[in-house]
Amino acid sequence: MMKNKIYNKTDRWVKRLLPFILLVFLPLSASAVTKAEADSAYAQEHYQKAVQDYEQLLKKGVSADLYYNLGNSYYRLDNITQAIIAYERALRLAPGDKDIRFNLQMARSKTIDRITPESEMFFVTWYRSLVSLMSVDGWARMALISLVAAIILALAYLFSNPIWLRKVGFFGGVLFLLIFLVSNLFAWQQKHELTNRPGAIITSSAVTVKSTPANNGTELFILHEGTKVTITDSSMREWRKIRMADGKEGWLQTKEIEEI
């Protein structure tokens, strides 16, 4: 009889707490979105739903694929500025992806401003292109593979009898050691760019770049929504100093741009 009373009392408490338990956990289960569901929404041309799903997934963890799909969804909604931001973020994570670069160029072609980049030495352009061939993880894997290959070839040089095999071990080991060093350099370069994040996109329809970080500063030139700028000074809370690809510089309010 005593056991029955305890059970009834516990049962009453469970019934009282059940609505609160459901209130807490049901929204969590209902809000759980999978990439397959987001991709399905995009395939069915429910682009607004796809945007919401991809943004929710990105809160759990970023990836080039998710940013790329988010950019495609925004592009379909004709929100070119947000599409550019998403593509730029995807490109930071996967700089060698040709599809991302192509779609980013397509989105940029729909913006108003046409900026002609400053000319640079051919080897600087070549270096940047080479660094962008792979992501940080890609260059790190290349460095690891090169190190293993260099060690194997070094062992072949030290413990082999045939002259030709010793030559292969020596020169091959030196080559892979150089690849190892270069891969580490490129990986560091990629990580440096990911960490600093100097790029930003104009989010206002039109903004006036000032000569000084003040509303009464001299007006230098006007930029429009979707244009990419590089932040060179972020020491002030409400203002950012920016530089254009053509070398022009000035100050913008922080609220008028979104950092990549």
CATH topology of domain 2-108: 1.25.40
Axis-axis angle for helices 47-60, 35-43 (nearest 10):
160
What ranges do the domains of the chain cover? 2-108, 122-176, 199-259
pLDDT tens sequence across 146-163 = 999 999 999 999 988 899
* CB neighbourhood size of 211 (10 A): 12
Residue 25 has a CB neighbour count (10 Å cut-off) of 10
Given this model, what pLDDT does residue 18 score? 47
Per-residue pLDDT tens over the stretch 40-67: 999 999 999 999 999 999 999 999 999 9
Pick one of 3.20.20.70, 3.90.1070.10, 1.10.3720.10, 2.30.30.40 as the CATH number of 199-259: 2.30.30.40
The confidence band for 128, taking pLDDT boundaries of 50, 70 and 90, is confident
More confident residue, 14 or 39: 39
Q: How confident is the model at residue 16, as a pLDDT?
A: 55
Work out the number of other CB atoms within 10 angstroms of the CB of residue 71.
28
Nearest to 120 by CA among 13, 19, 238, 247: 247
* Position 116 pLDDT exceeds 70: yes
Is the pLDDT assigned to residue 26 strictly greater than 80?
no
What is the C-alpha separation between 71 and 196, in angstroms, rounded?
Answer: 22
pLDDT of residue 14: 42
CA 156 – CA 149 distance, rounded (Å): 11
**pTM score of the predicted model:** 0.74
Helix locations, 61-212, DSSP H: 64-76, 80-93, 98-108, 122-131, 136-159, 163-196
Task: Give the pLDDT of residue 13.
Answer: 46
Q: Which amino acid is at 177?
A: L
Taking only the tens place, the pLDDT of each residue in 168-220 is 999 999 999 999 999 999 988 878 776 776 899 999 999 999 999 999 999 99
